[in-house]
């Protein structure tokens, strides 16, 4: 994979499963509601284990909050067991509340595509299943257009040496995951999955996006 990623500013001018199963399942049945401050926006990405994606995006200046959860399935109020079995059809995803005056949606897309493998179907490393698929869930038409255009550019420049298979969909209901999934990396850095899988991703975002990190 090439280490150079396409900046999205041009577009604006142009128009972890085995460790998880050891935990008790505490079901959160509440559908997400958000009290957004004026000017903040929401982005939703699925890029494999949500412990990884949460840890990556918490590093970024302008990101107000990151919530791991479930999206894109066929049943309401899914539990972790429903999702990890593949029965519900949901993806593990993160819901990001961000300040576009500090970090744009385009910049979030850059980080998303730089910190997971968007060329594998229903898989990220050893994590295999439909819940680990790569998918952008757009919350408005502009997000959808930007994501589709960015994927086209990545493929046109053969950035990964393989075709990007990330799906782009309109965002359906998002359900926050059980409490033990929230802020998982920062509370469990001693765990082997955190050390061997999540830490390298965090190190990567710190190296590639030094100018976008929280101070």
> CB of 167 within 8 A of CB of 122?
no
pLDDT of residue 3: 44
For the whole model, what pTM was predicted? Answer: 0.87
Measured at the alpha carbon of residue 185, what is the angle toward residues 182 and 189, in degrees to the nearest 5?
A: 140
Cα–Cα nearest to 53, from 136, 129, 163: 136
pLDDT of residue 83: 95
- Assess whether 194 carries a catalytic annotation: no
- Determine which one of 49, 52, 84, 194 is catalytic: 49
Determine the Cα–Cα distance for residues 119 and 151; give it in Å rounded to an integer.
11
pLDDT in tens, 139-193: 999 999 999 999 999 999 999 999 999 999 999 999 999 999 999 999 999 999 9
Domains of the chain: 9-201 (3.30.1060.10)
Number of neighbouring beta carbons within 10 Å of residue 212: 19
């Amino acid at each position: 994979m090439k280490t150079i990623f396409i900046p999205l500013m041009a577009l604006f001018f142009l128009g972890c499963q085995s460790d998880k199963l050891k935990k008790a399942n505490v079901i959160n049945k509440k559908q997400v509601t958000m009290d957004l401050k004026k000017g903040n926006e929401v982005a939703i990405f699925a890029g494999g284990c949500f412990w990884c994606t949460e840890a990556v995006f918490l590093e970024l200046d302008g990101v107000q909050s990151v919530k791991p959860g479930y999206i894109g399935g066929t049943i309401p109020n899914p539990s972790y067991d429903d999702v990890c079995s593949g029965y519900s059809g949901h993806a593990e995803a993160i819901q990001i509340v961000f300040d576009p005056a500090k970090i744009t949606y385009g910049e979030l897309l850059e980080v998303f595509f730089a910190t997971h493998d968007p060329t594998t179907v229903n898989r990220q490393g050893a994590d295999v299943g439909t819940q680990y698929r790569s998918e952008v869930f757009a919350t408005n038409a502009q997000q959808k257009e930007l994501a589709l255009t960015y994927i086209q550019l990545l493929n046109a420049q053969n950035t990964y040496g393989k075709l990007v298979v990330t799906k782009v969909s309109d965002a359906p209901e998002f359900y926050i995951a059980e409490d033990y999934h929230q802020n998982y990396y920062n509370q469990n850095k001693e765990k082997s999955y955190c050390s061997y899988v999540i830490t390298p991703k965090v190190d990567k975002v710190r190296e590639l996006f030094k100018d976008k990190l929280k101070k």
